[in-house]
Amino acid sequence: MRFDTKLLHGQATKSHLSGATIPPISQVSAFAYDTAEELEKVFNNRAPGFAYTRISNPIIDSFERRVNELEGGKGAVACASGMSAITQALLNILSEGDEIIAGSGLFGGTIDLFKDFEKFGIKTRFVKHITIEEIEPLINENTKVVYGEVIGNPGLDVMDIKAVADFVHSKNIPLIVDSTTATPYLIRPFEFGADIIVHSSSKYINGSGNSISGVIVDSGNFKWDGIRYKGFEEYKKYGSLAYIAKLRNGIWRNMGGCLAPMNAFLNIIGMETLGLRMERICDNAKSLAEAINQTGIVTANYPTIEGSPYQDLVKKQFNGKGGGILTIRAGSKERAYRFMNTLKYALKATNIGDSKTLVIHPASTIYTHNTKEQMQNAGVWEDTIRVSIGIEDTQDLIEDFIAAIKSL
C-alpha cells in the first residue's frame, strides 16, 4: 500500500470490537479475568491480554501498532509525552559512565534533559552537526549511542542518516533519531539504517494540538551486546525484539510514563489525515519561505530553498519536501516581537505540527534555560522566529506574512 491507503487500511487498522471502524476507547485502569490462572499468565507475559493500563491497554496497543506499521519497525511503545519517549528510549540502553554523542541543533528541552542525565553519570558530547567528520573524534569506549534529529528543530539542519548509520554501525554503536519534524510521510528512517525512532506524537502525528504523547519504534536490527549494554543478556532470547522486550518489562513499565487511552484515541483520529496535512504543510512552507525571501526585508530559512546546504539531501531522503518548519531572522528581538504581534492568522504558541500556523520566539521561551552558545549552535538567535506552518490557504498565509514584514 501507498502511504495514505496504509493509514486507513493497513494491517494495524483491522479487527476492532463489534466491527467498529475505529478502535473504542478503553477508559479503564484494570482488566478482569475469569480465573486467577488467566490473570497470572497475562501479567507474566505468558498469554496475550491486558492487565493494567500503565502496562498495556487495547487502544494504546492499536496506536502503537499503527505507528509501527508506518515506520516498518518490529515494535513500538507509546509514552506520556515526546520527552518521556526520548528519556526512556535512551535510559533503556544507558547506565552510569556511558556517553551520548548528540547534535547541538536539538530542541531546547532535549538539551535540558541531557544536562539532567549528568546527575546519573551519563555524559553527552555535543557536535555542531551529526556528520561522520564531527562524530569520529569523540568516539571512545564509553560511547553507547549517537542521537540526533532528522530535521533539526528549529535549526533545520538535515542529517544524512545512511552515511551516519553506516559509520556508527562500523563502531558497534546504535543510531537513535528523533523524526518528529520529518514524520513517516517524508521518510522512514529504518530504510536508511537508523536503529530506533522517537516521535513527539503530540505534533504532526496528532495534528490538532489536543493531546500530549510520544512513541518509540524499534527496527529490531541492532545486535545488543549483553556485556557492553548492561541488562540485555537476559533478553537475548527475544532476538530482534530484545530492545522492545527490555523496554516494556523494565524502565518504561517502572517509571509509569504511559499514554492515556483518550490521547491514544485522539492520535489515531489525527493520524488518518497525516498524509494530506503534510502534503499541504510542506507546500505552504516552501511557498511562504520563497515569498518572504523575495521581499529583501527579512530572510527565511527552509531546507528546500535556493542556497540551503541541504537541498540535495532533501531530494535524496525526503523526495524534495522540506517539512513544516521555517525560521525567520527579523533583525532584532524587538522587530521579531513586532512582526509576531502584527500577524493576523498565526497563533503565538509553543507547539509544532498543529493544523493552524504557529509562531514563537525561541530565545525567550523554549531556549530560555540554555546558554547563548547552545542557542546559537541550535540556530537560535535573538531575532529568530520559528514558524510551524499549518494548512491554511497558501495565499492567505503569504499575504499575512508579507503585510507583517512590510510593517517593519
Per-residue pLDDT band for 157 (boundaries 50, 70, 90) equals: very high
Give residue-wise pLDDT tens across range 279-336: 999 999 999 999 999 999 999 999 999 889 999 999 999 999 999 999 999 999 999 9
pLDDT given for residue 19 in this prediction? 81
pLDDT given for residue 18 in this prediction? 73
Give residue-wise pLDDT tens across range 11-35: 998 877 778 888 999 999 999 999 9
3-class secondary structure per residue, the chain: CCHHHHHHHCHHHCCCHHHCCCCCCCCCCECCCCCHHHHHHHHCCCCCCCCECCCCCHHHHHHHHHHHHHHCCCEEEEECCHHHHHHHHHHCCCCCCCEEEEECCCCHHHHHHHHHHHHHCCEEEEECCCCHHHHHHHCCCCEEEEEEECECCCCCCECCHHHHHHHHHHCCCCEEEECCCCHHHHCCHHHHCCCEEEECCCCCCCCCCCCCCEEEEECCCCCCCCCCCCCCHHHHHHHHHHHHHHHHHCHHHHHCCCCCHHHHHHHHHHHCCHHHHHHHHHHHHHHHHHHHHHHCCCEEECCCCCCCCCHHHHHHHHCCCCCCEEEEECCCHHHHHHHHHHCCCCEECCCCCCCCCEEECHHHCCCCCCCHHHHHHCCCCCCEEEEECCCCCHHHHHHHHHHHHHCC
pLDDT given for residue 339 in this prediction? 97
Give residue-wise pLDDT tens across range 269-286: 999 999 999 999 999 999
pLDDT given for residue 330 in this prediction? 95
Give residue-wise pLDDT tens across range 216-243: 999 999 999 999 999 999 999 999 999 9
- The answer, yes or no, to whether residue 373 has pLDDT greater than 90, is no
Which of 64-73, 100-109, 162-171 has the lowest average pLDDT? 100-109
Give residue-wise pLDDT tens across range 98-111: 999 999 888 888 99
